Chain A
Amino acid sequence: MLDWIGTIIQGVLLGGLYALFAAGLSLIFGIMRLVNLAHGDLIVLAAFAILALASWFGIDPWLATLLAMPAMFAVGFGLQQLLLNRTLGRDLLPPLLVTFGLSIIIQNGLLEAFTADSRRLRLGAIETASIQLGGNLAIGVMPLLTLGSAIAVILLLNLLFYRTALGRAFRATSDDLEIAQLMGIDHHRIYAIAMAIAMLVATVAALYLGAGANFDPTIGPARLIYAFEAVIIGGLGSLWGTLAGGIVIGVAQTVGAKINPEWQILAGHLAFLAVVLLRPRGLFPRAED
Chain B
Amino acid sequence: MSAALLETTGLDARYGDFQALYGIDSAVASGETVAIIGANGAGKSSYLKAIAGLIRTEPDSVRFEGRPIGGLGAANILKLGIALVPEGRRLFASLTVEENLQIGSYARDVAGPWSLDAIYALFPALQRRRAAPSHTLSGGEQQMAAIGRALMSNPRLLLCDEISLGLAPIVIRNLYEVIPRIKQSGTSIVLVEQDLAQALKVADRVYCFQEGRVSLSGRPAELTREQIHLAYFGH
Contact = CB atoms under 8 A, between A and B. Distances in A.
Interface of A: 165, 168-169, 171-172, 174-176, 178-187, 286-288
Contacts of A165: 102, 106
Contacts of B92: 171-172, 175-176, 179-180
Contact of B54 (A172, A182, A184, A286): A182
Given A169-B106, A182-B78, A184-B79, A175 B93 contact: yes
Contacts of A187: 75
A174 B106 contact: no
A31 to B, nearest CB: 11
A175 B84 contact: no
A181 B79 CA distance: 11
A181 B52 CA distance: 10
B93 A182 contact: no
Nearest to A166: B106
Nearest to B102: A168
Contact of B74 (A168, A175, A182, A286): A182
Interface in B146-164: 149, 153
Nearest to A187: B75
A185 B106 contact: yes
Interface string B154-188: 00000000000000000000000000000000000
B103 A168 contact: yes
A18 to B, nearest CB: 26
A182 B52 CA distance: 7
B107 interface: yes
A258 B184 CA distance: 74
B159 to A, nearest CB: 10
Which of B93, B103, B149 has most A Cβ within 10 Å? B103
Contacts of A184: 74-76, 78-79, 106-108, 153
Contact of B78 (A172, A174, A175, A183): A183
Contacts of A185: 75, 103, 106-107
